Amino acid sequence: MVSLPCLLRTLPALALVLAVAGCATPGGRPTGVEATVTTRAVGYLAADAVPAILQLVPAPPAAGSAAFALDEQVSREARALQGTPRFLQATADAELAFPAGANQFACAIDLDVEAQHTPALYRLLERSRIDASAATRAAKHQYQRPRPFTVNGAPTCTPADETALRGNGSYPSGHTAIGWAWALILSEIVPERADAIQARGRNYGESRLVCNVHWQSDVLEGRFMGAAAVARLHGNAAFEQDLQAARREIVQAHRAGRHARRDCAAEEAVLKVRPASAL
């Protein structure tokens, strides 16, 4: 039987556990809607160091414009992939919650990212994810662009997220900003695999087209803002420290014979399928 003094000492910790649990989904997994993932990590950048997106990107394409016509064409081509292996891959790519989100580039770097074995790399990806997401937030709020599935009525790859996505502006794509930021960062850490990493960054953004949750112009400006975030990160001492530590971890892991434990050949083949008009 637990004594009263012991119980009283336990209550603050119990309250913290319950508070964290209250931020998660009923199954205990943080929600992966865009980049607003429940996390105890923080970004590297202070609020005033986040790129000023409203000064950097134009307004989204207007209805009736040539740019929006291209958005619609790419969206039609992407919707044709629903029910295919590429759609299943896009579903997997939607996951940004860690630890699963840490391994979106596992095949590209040929290594599983694990907090236990590669803590600096894990921390680098998690914290830069938050910064890349923050770089898109002001435009999402400003423009509140409707997402493709609200316009065309077709399914998405994450139906459980649709209610939240309706209230989260489509422009630009937060997932794409994160994926492209990761691609640039990882290309510095593992330069011998830069081509594979950058290809993964590109098709990671294209998964948002296949998911029917973003327009092509959302994805293009998401890449731009991912790059803008990385440029700012290079002026941050904590980021640079983790970058160097992550490079050492990957070198040591590869020397020890550790590799990605998934079917990377199959993943690569699936990711070669893309909307024909996508830029």
What is the DSSP secondary-structure string of 118-173? Answer: -HHHHHHHHHHHHHHHHHHHHHHHHH-PPPHHHHH----S-GGGHHHHHTS--SS-
Q: Which of 79, 129, 145, 208 is catalytic?
A: 208
Give the rounded percent of residues in the chain with a pLDDT score beyond 90: 85
| pLDDT level of residue 18 (50, 70, 90 thresholds) | very low
In the DSSP assignment, the letter for residue 236 is: -
Cα dihedral value 9, 21, 178, 172, nearest 10? -130
Query: What average pLDDT does the segment 259-268 reach?
Result: 97
Q: φ, ψ for residue 69 (rounded to 5)?
A: -60, -40
Does residue 143 carry a pLDDT above 50? yes
Summarised one tens digit per residue, pLDDT across range 178-193 is 999 999 999 999 999 9
CB atoms within 10 A of CB 62: 8
| Range list of H helices, the chain | 4-22, 53-56, 66-79, 85-93, 106-109, 119-143, 148-152, 162-166, 174-189, 194-210, 216-233, 237-255, 264-271
Q: Which of 79, 129, 147, 175 is catalytic?
A: 175
Judge whether 254 counts as a catalytic residue.
Answer: no
Q: What CA–CA distance (Å, rounded) separates 215 from 208?
A: 8
Residue type, 229: A
Query: What average pLDDT does the segment 124-133 reach?
Result: 98
Q: Which of 218, 223, 242, 274 is catalytic?
A: 218
Judge whether 263 counts as a catalytic residue.
Answer: no
Per-residue model confidence (pLDDT) at position 41 = 87
| pLDDT level of residue 92 (50, 70, 90 thresholds) | very high
Q: Which of 145, 193, 214, 274 is catalytic?
A: 214
Summarised one tens digit per residue, pLDDT across range 30-78 is 333 444 444 468 999 999 999 999 999 999 999 999 999 999 999 999 9
Tokens of 145: 């662009």
Give the rounded percent of residues in the chain with a pLDDT score beyond 70: 86
pTM of the model: 0.86
